[in-house]
Amino acid sequence: MSADTADALLGAVDPSSLRPDQQRVLADLTELAGLVESAEPGFSRRVFSDAYRAGREWVRDRMRAAGLEAHIDPAGNVVGVLRGANSALKPLMTGSHTDTVHAGGRYDGIVGVLGGIEVARRLREEGITLARDLYVVDFLGEEANSFGVSCIGSRSIAGLLLPEHLERTNGDSALRLGDAMTGFGLDTGGALGQAWAPGSLHAYLELHIEQGPQLERSGKQIGVVTAIAGIERLMAAFSGRADHAGTMPMQGRQDALIAAAEAILTIEREACGAPIHGVSTTGRIESSPGSFNIVPDEARIWAEMRSVDASWLHGAKRRVAEDIAAGAALRGVETAIEWLNDQDPVAADPDVQRLLGDAADALGYTWEAVPSGAGHDAAHLAHLGPMGMIFVPSVGGRSHVPEEFTEADDITVGIHVLATALVAADRSERPLVAS
């Protein structure tokens, strides 16, 4: 550990006093992992489910036990506040989410929420009073869901949740997102009308598992996030002509599913040619009439492209739309593309990046700068103040699967860096640097 760096960051605070209680954190992880949808595979705790309600109540109880003032805010987020010496100062905020994808894992988002609670515990146990309030937040519905609206709670407090988002429907039942929120006991008027003002946060720091293989490959303990990828999501519909599968010659067909298959490969090729981090995924396909002996007349695909390079992402959106339409036209198939998500990349604040690197250095942990290919609540919180993220390694790079795993020692390191960075940020004015 660099004593000079630690002194510059923390003043009289002993960095070792901020080390988390690993066994307590692991016990919390295990207990929350038991609050899942029992009839579903993996660790499923989807937004608006009974298991999600139970998990949020558990989180609120844990916050209160840690000495936080806990409540549900108008956006539907579970919020715990550790009061500082001067509540008139701009507050600090940390947190993440406890909802999961279907058949997901037990670490995605959860490490950030439980890590924030543990930081508050350690501050109280060590008698450390921050100058400003610290908010620990479990944001509502971060994961992509059947309504097509992710990061519901963080969008809301950032003023980015729009009335049209609440009109989005669940494709299976035509249930509106607004109705689902109301049924969950939330006030949609509050979610739309009580955003925080831009610039109201001193800093937002989020701890998260990497969800990719880079840190494990490099052997680094910490990733300091440089930017959060932008996401373009689309639904492409293809209309051809149904014919007898045994008698219609191949050259005369207007096969909607073949046009859709070519579109999937078009989307893949586009990402493979990205100059820097670019990925694409087609995650859902439908076709009708769905019979072996009938040429498909209708098909739909749902896909996404991601990159931290805004220029490439915008160009890819245009090129993919043009290439899909041109390829389908050669087969006599009509196309219609609906863009479901248009989110630009968001850069982490440079001063916060430096602060996080300094915190890792002060504690003697190895780190590197990494982009985030996943979306995060932090992207929306950047509208409210300087934003930064801390990544810890994911074993095998696996995430959004039951096999998702991060070593206990890596979680401990991440929480230690988070605590150190929050204390340092509390002492700092803009720019948020140690020197």
Give, as one character, the DSSP assignment of residue 49.
S
pLDDT in tens, 46-87: 999 999 999 999 999 999 999 999 999 999 999 999 999 999
- Map tokens 């389908």 to a residue: 328
Q: What is the mean pLDDT of residues 88-98?
A: 98
**pLDDT at res. 265:** 99
CATH 3.30.70.360 location in the chain: 230-343
Domain 230-343 class, CATH top level? alpha beta
Please, are residues 225 and 355 in contact by the beta-carbon 8 Å criterion? no
CATH 3.40.630.10 location in the chain: 3-228+345-427
Output b/e per residue, 296-323; b: 16+ Cβ within 10 A. bbbbbbbbbbbbbbeebbeebbeebbeb
Q: Find the Cα–Cα–Cα–Cα dihedral 249, 255, 259, 261, rounded to 10°.
A: -90
Output b/e per residue, 223-243; b: 16+ Cβ within 10 A. bbbbbbbbbbbbbbbbbbbbb
In Å, the largest CA–CA distance within the chain is 83
pLDDT in tens, 12-30: 799 999 999 999 999 999 9
Question: Is 245 exposed, middle or buried (CB count within 10 Å of its CB: 0-12, 13-18, 19+)?
Answer: middle
Q: Is residue 434 pLDDT above 50, yes or no?
A: no
pLDDT in tens, 319-343: 999 999 999 999 999 999 999 888 8
**pLDDT at res. 47:** 98
pLDDT band at 8 (very low <50, low <70, confident <90, very high): confident
**pLDDT at res. 3:** 66
Domain 3-228+345-427 has CATH 3.40.630.10: yes
- CA dist 330 and 332 (Å) reads 6
- CA dist 64 and 50 (Å) reads 21
**pLDDT at res. 2:** 59
User: Which of 66, 68, 79 has its CA nearest to residue 24?
Assistant: 66
Specify binding-site residues for Zn(2+).
97, 108, 143, 208, 400
pLDDT band at 430 (very low <50, low <70, confident <90, very high): low
Q: Parallel, antiparallel, or unpaired: how do β-strands 92-96 and 203-209 relate?
A: parallel
DSSP 3-state assignment of 3?
helix
- Calculate the alpha carbon distances from 435 to 131, 155, 281, 367, 387 in Å: 19, 34, 43, 20, 19
pLDDT in tens, 147-188: 989 999 999 999 999 999 999 998 778 899 999 999 999 999
**pLDDT at res. 171:** 74
Specify binding-site residues for allantoate.
233, 293, 306
Q: How many CB atoms lie within 10 A of CB 291?
A: 11
DSSP 3-state assignment of 163?
helix
**pLDDT at res. 298:** 99
pLDDT band at 7 (very low <50, low <70, confident <90, very high): confident
User: pTM for this structure?
Assistant: 0.92
pLDDT in tens, 121-145: 999 999 999 999 999 999 999 998 9
Q: Angle formed by the axes of helices 110-125 and 408-427, to 10°?
A: 60
- Map tokens 């669940």 to a residue: 170
Mean model confidence pLDDT for the chain:
96
pLDDT in tens, 338-373: 998 888 999 999 999 999 999 999 999 999 999 999
Please, are residues 184 and 195 in contact by the beta-carbon 8 Å criterion? no
| % residues pLDDT > 90 (the chain) | 91
pLDDT in tens, 275-302: 988 999 999 999 999 999 999 999 999 9
Residues 6+ apart with CB under 8 A from 23: none
pLDDT in tens, 233-276: 999 999 999 999 999 999 999 999 999 999 999 999 999 999 98
Specify binding-site residues.
97, 108, 143, 208, 233, 293, 306, 400
